[in-house]
Structure 1
Amino acid sequence: MPNELLEFFLLCLTSLFTMINPLSVTPIFTSMTSQLDRATARRVAGKATLTAAIILILFAVTGQFIFKIFSITVDSLRIVGGVIFFIMGYEMIQARLSKIRFDKDNLHEMESYTQDIAITPIAIPLIAGPGAIASVIILMSSNTGLVYHLMLFSSIALVALVTYVFLLFSTPIMDRLGESGNKVLLRIMGLIVMVIGVEFFVGGLTPIVRNMLMIQA
């Protein structure tokens, strides 16, 4: 039992960390807050990571209700999540930080814009993106025990805390890693994301194929 809990906890951490990928959020956060003072940028980082963590927990808790309302199965979501993981992992292997582009001139609209960017786009979709949301729903559905759920929530909180630390020290991190170093790390994490994606895809497709074969038989 302890080994199973540890394996599940590590799976949660690996899945969430690679899908959220604080390194890919860091350069975007840096560019969007480059004209803000340190205290304001710190507040934006805290609000964004807290909002993203709450959103992920809400999706994890309400995932089963969403399944019932829209007649979605866990296996189908595993397949879709696997495809999303694989595509995002491929983008990371190509060392593309993000397809999203932002207009830096909007930062001159200081007060209202500063409040908005913490929610969108930093919290959603940069931190709590579709891959991370699919991941928490799948992980929540795969184990029904309260201890497993607490492990998932702890993983969300821990990854959110790590992301917050990355955002706080975004400028020195990017300066130290440099463009080449960041691209290398992105490719490594992209490979991990693709492997997780394949595992989710196969895990969701296998019971569907077995069920189809039983019906045909």
Structure 2
Amino acid sequence: MSDLLTFGLLAFTSFFTLINPLGTMPIFMTMTAELDNEHRTRTAKKASIAAFITIVIFAFSGQVLFNFFGISVNSFRIVGGVIFFLMGMDMLQARLGKVKVKESEVHSYINDISITPLAIPMICGPGALTNAIVLMEDAESLEKKMVLVLSILIVMILTYLILFSSSKIIKVLGETGNNVMMRLMGLIVMVIAVEFFFSGLKPIVAEMMN
């Protein structure tokens, strides 16, 4: 029992740290600023569900998929870094906040952003997917596999609740506050992107040199 508890705690803390819903929240706030509360809540729910399904699929079959397509985790990090950097650039210039969504296009807009970039790669990025693959390999018993899936589910529920609460934060900050936060977070996202990019590039260059 203590072994399962330790494994579950490891899974929960590692996924919560890697997914970092608090870091995703400002981007979510920016991209859904033009939506009402109902549609913003629906976007958060769809993004959380999509991220949960993606992580679970990768946990059970990620290593097989990576090997089949010849994809390395480092390549995944480089692509994630590029996506983050472009997103951070838009945030820094307040371009994401200028998105105006027509009433007739709200449904398709929610479907678009809830999958990409919110679910992938913001919520379940290279780190979370790699963590899922590694922990699933360590889960040698059925009980541990169930604990792992339950840990992912709990983190996704917390992620949804944090994104859901962003509606109140948007009201408190107002338009000026949102623009200031968007620019600050854009800078931080670009720094994270550079870290992602080079953390994937270094092993590849080292392997080429050897």
Give the shorter-chain TM-score range.
0.5 to 0.7
**CA distance, structure 1, for counterparts of residue 148 and residue 106 of structure 2:** 34
Report the counterpart of residue 25 of structure 1 in structure 2. Answer: 28
**CA distance, structure 2, for counterparts of residue 197 and residue 11 of structure 1:** 21
Aligned residues: 195
Report the counterpart of residue 142 of structure 1 in structure 2. Answer: 134
Task: Report whether the alignment pairs 1:124 with 2:120.
Answer: no
Task: Report whether the alignment pairs 1:92 with 2:88.
Answer: yes
With structure 2 as the length reference, what TM-score do the two structures score?
0.65
Equivalent AA in structure 1 for residue 158 of structure 2:
L
Report the counterpart of residue 69 of structure 2 in structure 1. Answer: 70
Quickly say closer, same or farther: Cα 1:4–1:209, change in 2 above 3 A: farther
Query: What secondary structure sits across from 2:92 in the alignment?
Result: coil
**CA distance, structure 2, for counterparts of residue 155 and residue 174 of structure 1:** 26
Equivalent AA in structure 2 for residue 192 of structure 1:
I
Quickly say closer, same or farther: Cα 1:57–1:193, change in 2 above 3 A: same
**CA distance, structure 1, for counterparts of residue 57 and residue 184 of structure 2:** 32
Report the counterpart of residue 101 of structure 2 in structure 1. Answer: 104
Quickly say closer, same or farther: Cα 1:183–1:42, change in 2 above 3 A: closer
Report the counterpart of residue 75 of structure 2 in structure 1. Answer: 79
**CA distance, structure 2, for counterparts of residue 97 and residue 60 of structure 1:** 34
Equivalent AA in structure 2 for residue 67 of structure 1:
F
Q: Is the 8 A contact 2:94 2:179 kept in 1?
A: no
Quickly say closer, same or farther: Cα 1:80–1:71, change in 2 above 3 A: closer
Report the counterpart of residue 170 of structure 2 in structure 1. Answer: 171
Report the counterpart of residue 198 of structure 2 in structure 1. Answer: 198
Quickly say closer, same or farther: Cα 1:42–1:95, change in 2 above 3 A: closer
**CA distance, structure 2, for counterparts of residue 55 and residue 20 of structure 1:** 21
Q: Is the 8 A contact 1:87 1:194 kept in 2?
A: no
Q: Structure 1, residues 49-89: CA drift from partner, whole Å, max 9, x if none?
A: 343333433443332332244243xxx23233234225514
Report the counterpart of residue 161 of structure 2 in structure 1. Answer: 161
Report the counterpart of residue 209 of structure 1 in structure 2. Answer: 207
Equivalent AA in structure 2 for residue 26 of structure 1:
M
Equivalent AA in structure 2 for residue 145 of structure 1:
D
**CA distance, structure 2, for counterparts of residue 56 and residue 88 of structure 1:** 19
The more displaced of 7-16 and 177-186 is 7-16
Identity of aligned residues (%): 13
1:23 to partner: Cα distance: 0.9
Unmatched 5+ stretches in structure 1:
none
Q: Structure 1, residues 145-195: CA drift from partner, whole Å, max 9, x if none?
A: 2369455554444333322322x3353154173412331133234323432
Equivalent AA in structure 1 for residue 33 of structure 2:
T
Query: What secondary structure sits across from 1:63 in the alignment?
Result: helix
Q: Structure 1, residues 26-67: CA drift from partner, whole Å, max 9, x if none?
A: 122121x24xxx4x3365245323433334334433323322
**CA distance, structure 1, for counterparts of residue 65 and residue 169 of structure 2:** 36
Quickly say closer, same or farther: Cα 1:84–1:22, change in 2 above 3 A: same
**CA distance, structure 1, for counterparts of residue 169 and residue 156 of structure 2:** 20
Q: Is the 8 A contact 1:81 1:200 kept in 2?
A: yes
Q: Is the 8 A contact 1:60 1:137 kept in 2?
A: yes
**CA distance, structure 2, for counterparts of residue 169 and residue 133 of structure 1:** 26
